[in-house]
């Protein structure tokens, strides 16, 4: 039998205390936030789109040419209905702390553009799957990669979220990316720009900031951070996170910081390196770091506090340029 409370008066007093705490003095008191998008509905829409991207892998019945269109339509009609409603809820919410460039009523236009982009998304994601297979000798086949590799879950969510981010849709892209973050341990901000054939081996603990730019055929290992040097003014559009050019490999635990930092094409960054300066194309960044002065670096929320890391001004990396 369900337990019935005996101390009703104290329970009622506790309820009164909670209600009184919603007096409007706290930023989290905003009761209008109940009109915000529903996280569960957004994630459900994401799964419908993901199913359309990898239809044969997620179908619950046999897929044949005769029922292919019907099956795709089932997923895309559901995704359309869910996403339009959730985007409109985001667009009509009146308490955003940052300006929203889309107006209410634009939700369906954004969703249609996203759904029309699915053929190109499938082509690009195929390059990511192929990069995982080519880059991991432990992979037994494409099927194993699509079903089980956290990198593919993370980059699939990112590529969908990034399109909505570019549309100017508020909140929805971050819900999608944070869902993937929770599932995979890979944190990719939906604003990051990522080229084709992208692979994160193992993946746990990877952080990629909002303004990071990653070229084609880039491979990261677990624990890599592409972060900011300091907490920039909220709302600024400047580049805060690094650029990795084509064909770069970054090994486990490396931290690369700053919007002016560029890792040149074809470079290899060794494990546990701390980089705040650009390196030329074809570089190999290895070796012990050494302190050259006791200057103070800026704090970085993406990569840990200064007390836990060498100071920005007090670090140099060993760079051996190669042809």
The CA-CA-CA angle for residues 266, 190, 114, to 5°, reads 105
Tell me the C-alpha distance between 314 and 230, whole Å. Answer: 16
Residues 175 and 257 in one domain: no
94 — pLDDT class (breaks 50, 70, 90): low
Residue 92 has pLDDT above 90, yes or no: no
Residues 43 and 74 in one domain: yes
Tell me the C-alpha distance between 93 and 258, whole Å. Answer: 33
Residues 167 and 42 in one domain: yes
pLDDT at 305 (0 to 100): 34
50 — pLDDT class (breaks 50, 70, 90): very high
Of 261, 281, 282, 275, residue with least CA distance to 318: 275
Q: Is residue 286 part of a domain?
A: yes
> How much of the chain exceeds pLDDT 70, in percent?
83
**Per-residue pLDDT tens digits for 116-173:** 999 999 999 999 999 999 999 999 999 999 999 999 999 999 999 999 999 999 999 9
**End of a domain among 129, 153, 186?**
186
pLDDT at 233 (0 to 100): 45
Instruction: Provide the domain limits for residue 66.
Output: 35-186
pLDDT at 288 (0 to 100): 62
Q: Which of 97-111, 197-211, 218-232, 271-285 is predicted least confidently?
A: 97-111
Residues 310 and 272 in one domain: yes
Q: Residues near 285 by Cβ (< 8 Å), separated by ≥ 6? A: 267, 268, 269, 270, 273, 275, 279, 317, 318, 319
pLDDT at 317 (0 to 100): 47
**Per-residue pLDDT tens digits for 188-216:** 999 999 999 999 999 999 999 999 999 99
**Per-residue pLDDT tens digits for 239-272:** 999 999 999 999 999 999 999 999 999 999 999 9
What global pTM score does this model have? 0.82
pLDDT at 36 (0 to 100): 87
Tell me the C-alpha distance between 197 and 194, whole Å. Answer: 9
pLDDT at 32 (0 to 100): 72
Residue 282 has pLDDT above 50, yes or no: yes
3-state secondary structure of 173: helix
Mean pLDDT across the chain:
86
Tell me the C-alpha distance between 194 and 60, whole Å. Answer: 31
Q: Is residue 199 part of a domain?
A: no
pLDDT at 236 (0 to 100): 53
**End of a domain among 158, 186, 214?**
186
Q: Is residue 21 part of a domain?
A: no
Q: How many domains does the structure of the chain reveal?
A: 2
**For residue 311, how many other CB atoms are within 10 A of its CB?**
17
Q: Residues near 156 by Cβ (< 8 Å), separated by ≥ 6? A: 50, 53, 54, 125, 180
Residue 308 has pLDDT above 50, yes or no: no
Task: CATH number of the domain at 256, please.
Answer: 2.160.10.10
Residues 174 and 222 in one domain: no
Residues 171 and 223 in one domain: no
Q: Which two tokens stand for residue 150?
A: 């956290």
Task: CATH number of the domain at 159, please.
Answer: 1.10.3130.10
3-state secondary structure of 116: helix
Residue 286 has pLDDT above 70, yes or no: yes
Q: Is residue 13 part of a domain?
A: no
How large is the average pLDDT for residues 228-241? Answer: 73
pLDDT at 232 (0 to 100): 55
Residue 291 has pLDDT above 90, yes or no: no
Q: Residues near 80 by Cβ (< 8 Å), separated by ≥ 6? A: 108, 111, 112, 115
Residues 40 and 159 in one domain: yes
Residues 143 and 241 in one domain: no
Q: Is residue 8 part of a domain?
A: no
Residue 101 has pLDDT above 80, yes or no: no
Bridge-partner residues for 244, per DSSP? 214, 263
Residues 104 and 142 in one domain: yes
Residue 315 has pLDDT above 50, yes or no: no
pLDDT at 175 (0 to 100): 97
Of 132, 113, 128, residue with least CA distance to 158: 128
3-state secondary structure 138-168: CCCCHHHHHHHCHHHHHHHHHHHHHHHHHHC
Tell me the C-alpha distance between 323 and 317, whole Å. Answer: 19
Residues 179 and 211 in one domain: no
98 — pLDDT class (breaks 50, 70, 90): low
Residues 226 and 129 in one domain: no
**End of a domain among 186, 218, 233?**
186
In this predicted model, which residue has the larger pLDDT, 303 or 22? 22
| CB-facing half-sphere around the CA of 159: CA atoms within 13 A | 26
How large is the average pLDDT for residues 311-319? Answer: 39
Q: Is residue 24 part of a domain?
A: no
pLDDT at 237 (0 to 100): 58
Q: With contact defined as beta carbons under 8 Å apart, do 188 and 208 qualify? A: yes
Residue 287 has pLDDT above 50, yes or no: yes
Q: Which two tokens stand for residue 91?
A: 């667009």
């Amino acid at each position: 039998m369900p337990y019935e409370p005996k101390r009703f008066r104290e329970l009622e007093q506790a309820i009164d205390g909670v209600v009184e705490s919603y007096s409007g003095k706290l930023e989290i008191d905003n009761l209008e936030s109940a009109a915000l998008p529903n996280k569960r509905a957004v994630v459900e829409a994401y799964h419908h789109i993901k199913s359309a991207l990898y239809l044969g892998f997620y179908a619950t019945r046999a897929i044949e040419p005769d029922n292919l269109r019907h099956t795709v339509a089932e997923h895309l009609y559901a995704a359309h209905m869910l996403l339009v409603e959730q985007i409109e809820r985001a667009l009509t919410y009146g308490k955003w702390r940052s300006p929203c460039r889309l107006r209410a009523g634009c939700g369906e236009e954004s969703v249609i553009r996203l759904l029309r982009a699915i053929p190109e998304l499938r082509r690009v994601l195929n390059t990511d799957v192929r990069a995982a297979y080519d880059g991991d000798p432990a992979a037994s086949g494409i099927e194993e990669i699509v079903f089980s590799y956290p990198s593919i879950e993370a980059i699939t969510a990112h590529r969908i979220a990034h399109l909505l981010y570019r549309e100017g849709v508020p909140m929805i892209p971050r819900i999608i990316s944070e869902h993937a973050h929770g599932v995979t341990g890979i944190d990719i901000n939906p604003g990051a720009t990522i080229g084709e054939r992208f692979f994160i081996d193992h993946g746990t603990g990877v952080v990629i900031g909002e303004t990071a730019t990653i070229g084609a055929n880039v491979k990261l290992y677990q624990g890599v951070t592409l972060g900011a040097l300091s907490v920039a003014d909220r709302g600024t559009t400047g580049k805060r996170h690094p650029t990795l050019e084509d064909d770069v490999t970054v090994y486990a635990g490396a931290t690369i910081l700053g919007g002016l930092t560029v890792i040149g094409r074809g470079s290899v960054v060794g494990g546990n390196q701390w980089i705040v300066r650009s390196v030329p194309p074809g570089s190999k960044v290895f070796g012990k770091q050494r302190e050259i002065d006791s200057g103070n670096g800026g704090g970085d929320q993406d990569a840990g506090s200064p007390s836990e890391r060498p100071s920005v001004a007090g670090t140099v990396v060993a760079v051996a340029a190669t042809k």
